[in-house]
Amino acid sequence: MEIIEAVWEKRNIALSTFEIEVSENDSWDDLKESIQNLRFDYLVVKIPPSRTDLIFKTSDVGLIFVEQVTKAHYSGELPTLDSLQLRIVNSLSCKEMTQSNKKILFQEISNGLFKTDRVALDPLLGIEKSSQRYLGWISDELKAGALIYEVTKADDLIGFFLIRQVNANASHAILAGLLDKYQKSGLGFVLNFFEIEISQKMGASAVYSIFSSNNRGALAIHMSMGYKVDRQHYVYVKHSSSGVN
């Protein structure tokens, strides 16, 4: 079992937050005791899907299911695109984001670009808190060395992605999104394609990605691009440590 004090969440959403990642070998007593010993405003617990013995007891300590998170990776040659996808990719440009487009993107995020993550969907948090969280998350990643790329068509910003080289062989595609007016355009695949392309230009042989079941399109796109699933977790949350018995 891994317990992390998510200090970045205190900074981003003003809540004292802990994250617990349960292993295949942890017992219910281990998990319950860990929760009882923590003092928090917001708790995130990640449980492997195979641990049904724990899953059926989560309500005993007030945990609420919010999403399934999948961690996956891509390796090998660039994905093969069909003729239509290839025409679309060739009509677009991808490069490190300009300052002017950062301003546009950050305003889009402030306006509620991300609507399906667990914070945005939580009635006790909502889109405003979610937007603050994404802006803080991007800022933290950029300070840590991540790069932010823009995807444009004739100078019109379509979407973005954030990527960080983990080591000589791997990169992490941290976050990506289409601007609101392109959400239903069918262009989501271009972000994954460019992530892989940029990762390979960095010299990495594999790119790692994480996506949520709350974003149904993400699963389809990742699988169509040839990503392989590494592991999955069911994610539960609880507000306030008071009342944990």
Per-residue pLDDT tens for 120-132? 999 999 999 999 9
The SS3 call for residue 26 is: coil
User: Per the structure block, which two tokens stand in for 104?
Assistant: 């546009």
Q: Is the pTM of this model over 0.75?
A: yes
Spatial distance between the Cα atoms of 42 and 45, rounded to a whole number of angstroms: 10
Count, in order, helices (H) and strands (E) of the chain: 9, 10
At residue 186, the pLDDT reads 87
Q: Identify the residue whose tokens are 């069909």.
A: 82
The domains found in the chain, sorted by start residue, are 2-69+234-239 (no CATH), 72-231 (3.40.630.30)
pLDDT in tens, 22-56: 999 999 999 999 999 999 999 999 999 999 999 99
User: Per the structure block, which two tokens stand in for 13?
Assistant: 């959403």
Amino acid at 35: I
pLDDT in tens, 166-207: 998 999 999 999 999 998 888 999 999 999 999 999 999 999
R_g of the chain, CA atoms, integer Å: 19
At residue 245, the pLDDT reads 44
